[in-house]
């Protein structure tokens, strides 16, 4: 089972909302110069704590997060999860069985097509030469790559050009197999395009695919409690 939870980051920040956050999370929020960036960080992390606590017998403030050497967070003893935020929207994916990764982009491509050349694998470069591809195709390819690299746990510390996800057209009903070799070990993933309005979003999970019907779409707000 895989839960995909949307969070509106434009809501007001209240004392009740942020009471569950750790001193480190509050300090990280304060490190952002702009108010809207502080707000987005505070809401996203309060939501993450509330969502994760609903799978556990601990309150949101009791959860402790640890990070791997590339910054991927996890909750010891908790389900696998991944968080992505873009503008005023965050998505959290929770997977009870497999390591997972999600990426969301609400806007346009941050990289130019020339810069994208450096993140494309040789197979993707060949595909781009053969087809007339729009910026939207590049953006979807990018979220697919980030979802897999976040599931791997290395993010873009892993050279994205070593991974082939392809420019194939959107398919919200089919998990596609993707693999990569890192330090001699093979890592298999399944990748799915996620339908979220006009936004670009993809989710990846290690090893096994899931029936698309096993994905539950929800949203979280302070009023909804857990969600």
Among 46, 153, 193, 200, binds ligand COA (CB under 6 A): 153
Q: According to the binding rule CB under 6 A, does residue 150 interact with ligand COA? A: yes
Among 157, 170, 181, 216, binds ligand COA (CB under 6 A): 157
The three-state DSSP-derived secondary structure of the chain is CEEEEEEECCCCCCHHHHCCCCHHHHHHHHCCCCHHHHHHHHHHHHHHHHHHHCCCCCCHHHCCCEECCCCCEECCCCCEEEEEEECCEEEEEEECCCCEEEEEECCCCCCCHHHHCCCCCHHHHHHHHHCCCCHHHHHHHHHHHHHHHHHHCCHHHCCHHHCCCCCCCCCCCCCEEEEEEECCEEEEEEEEECCECCEEEEEEEECCCCCHHHEEEEEECHHHCCC
Give the nearest distance from C-beta 220 to ligand COA in angstroms. 15
Q: How far apart are the first and last CA of the chain?
A: 16
Q: According to the binding rule CB under 6 A, does residue 154 interact with ligand COA? A: yes
Q: Which CB sits closer to ligand COA, 70 or 227?
A: 70
Q: According to the binding rule CB under 6 A, does residue 163 interact with ligand COA? A: no
Among 125, 134, 136, 156, binds ligand COA (CB under 6 A): 156
Q: According to the binding rule CB under 6 A, does residue 103 interact with ligand COA? A: yes
Rounded Cα distance between 34 and 20, Å, is: 22
Q: Which residues contact 166 (CB under 8 A, 6 or more apart)?
A: 123, 124, 127, 141, 144, 176
Q: According to the binding rule CB under 6 A, does residue 71 interact with ligand COA? A: yes
Q: According to the binding rule CB under 6 A, does residue 84 interact with ligand COA? A: yes
Of 8-16, 71-79, 159-167, 194-202: span binding ligand COA (CB under 6 A): 71-79
Give the nearest distance from C-beta 98 to ligand COA in angstroms. 14
Give the nearest distance from C-beta 126 to ligand COA in angstroms. 25
Among 85, 144, 145, 206, binds ligand COA (CB under 6 A): 85
Give the nearest distance from C-beta 131 to ligand COA in angstroms. 25
Total chain residues near ligand COA (CB under 6 A): 19
Residues 41-60 that bind ligand COA (CB under 6 A): 41, 44
Q: According to the binding rule CB under 6 A, does residue 146 interact with ligand COA? A: yes
Rounded Cα distance between 47 and 5, Å, is: 10
Interface residue list for ligand COA (CB under 6 A):
41, 44, 70-73, 82-85, 101, 103, 146, 150, 153-157
């Amino acid at each position: 089972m895989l839960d995909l939870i949307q969070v509106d980051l434009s809501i007001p920040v209240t004392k009740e909302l942020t009471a569950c956050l750790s001193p480190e999370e509050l300090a990280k929020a304060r490190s952002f110069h702009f108010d809207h960036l502080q707000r987005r960080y505070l809401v996203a992390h309060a939501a993450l704590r509330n969502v994760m606590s609903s799978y556990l017998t601990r309150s949101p403030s009791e959860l402790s997060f640890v990070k791997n050497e590339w910054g991927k967070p996890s909750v010891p003893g908790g389900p696998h999860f991944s968080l992505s935020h873009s503008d005023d929207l965050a998505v959290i994916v929770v997977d009870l069985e497999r390591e997972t990764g999600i990426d969301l982009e609400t806007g346009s491509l941050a990289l130019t097509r020339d810069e994208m050349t450096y993140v494309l694998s040789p197979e993707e470069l060949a595909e781009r030469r053969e087809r007339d591809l729009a910026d939207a195709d590049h953006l979807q390819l990018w979220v697919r790559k980030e979802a897999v690299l976040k599931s791997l746990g290395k993010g873009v510390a892993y050279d994205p050009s070593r991974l082939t996800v392809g420019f194939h057209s959107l398919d919200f009903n089919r998990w596609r197999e993707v693999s990569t070799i890192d330090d001699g070990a093979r890592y298999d993933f399944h990748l799915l395009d996620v339908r979220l309005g006009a936004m670009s979003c993809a989710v990846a999970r290690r090893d096994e695919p899931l029936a698309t019907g096993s994905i539950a779409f929800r949203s979280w707000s302070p009023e909804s409690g857990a969600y």
